[in-house]
A = this chain, B = another copy of it.
Amino acid sequence: MSLLDYFRKSKPKSAAIAKERLQILVAHERTARNRPSYLPQLQKELLDVIRKYVNVDQDAISVNFEQDENQETLELNIVLPDYQQENKSVNM
C-alpha cells in the first residue's frame, strides 16, 4: 500500500466538509532507548515552519503521539482556514 493510499483511506468521505487539511506525520524508529525523545520539541518547530506558509489557529491543530518499544510517531492534523481568510503570501 502506498502512502497516498493510506491518506486516501484515512480522510473523511463527505464532500460537504471539504476543508483544506494538512497532515504531518513523524515516525522515529529508535535503536537506543536511553536518549530523550526530541519529537515534542520538534513538533513546536515544525508548526513554526508551517505557520510561515498558512495561517493556523491553535484550535485547528490536533496532535497525536504514540510510542511503543521501538518507535514513536507524532501526528499533526491541521484544518486550514478557507482560502478567502488567508492573508499570507507564499514566497516561491
Bound Cα distance A4, B21 (Å): 20
Contact of A27 among B22, B30, B64 (CB under 8 A): B22
Q: How many residues of A sit at the interface, in one of the four size bands?
A: 35 or more
Bound Cα distance A7, B29 (Å): 9
Contact A20 B24 (CB under 8 A): no
Closest B residue to A54 by beta carbon equals B38
Contact of A7 among B30, B36, B52, B71 (CB under 8 A): B71
Mask: chain A, 8-29; 1 = CB below 8 Å from B; 0 = not: 1101000000111111111111
Closest chain-B Cβ to A40's Cβ sits at a distance in Å of: 8
Bound Cα distance A22, B92 (Å): 27
